[in-house]
A = this chain, B = another copy of it.
Amino acid sequence: MQKINLSEAFGRFEELWSPKIIGEVNDCQVKLAKVKGEFVWHRHEEEDELFLVVKGRFTLRFRDRDVDLEEGELMIVPRGVEHLPVADEEAHLLVFEPGTTLNTGEVRNDRTVDSPERLY
């Protein structure tokens, strides 16, 4: 049981699109992710997913619209909703989602991270 300074935690890794676990809240996990560029269209059949922008800007593309998020803004993508995460410049995200969530959802490719690392 320790406090976590987000800035210090983001300093512990460099990889893009590779979420790191920093803790659990019952069945959910708290993860940090550095992102830049375009990810892959995907959805999570059973899991809602919260994205909070800690640094930079981040866009969630949906099939019918784009939502631009700035620092201090969050969005919850409900289960079943297809989304494409995009960031023109590197952005730092805090993600809150069930521990069963696979980063690429129903898609499997070279971006898929089956066992995210733990930072703490």
Which residues in A have some Cβ–Cβ distance to B below 8 Å? 1-7, 23-28, 30, 46-50, 52, 54, 67, 69-70, 72-79, 81, 94, 96-98
Task: Chain B residues near A81: list those with CB within 8 A.
Answer: 1
Ordered by A's residue number, 17 sampled pairs between the chains whose C-beta atoms are within 8 Å are: A1-B77, A1-B78, A5-B70, A5-B73, A6-B73, A7-B72, A23-B50, A24-B76, A25-B48, A25-B76, A26-B27, A26-B47, A26-B79, A26-B97, A27-B27, A27-B28, A30-B50
> Which listed residue (B1, B23, B67) contacts A3, Cβ 8 A?
B67
Task: Chain B residues near A76: list those with CB within 8 A.
Answer: 1, 23-25, 30
A86 to chain B, nearest CB (A): 14
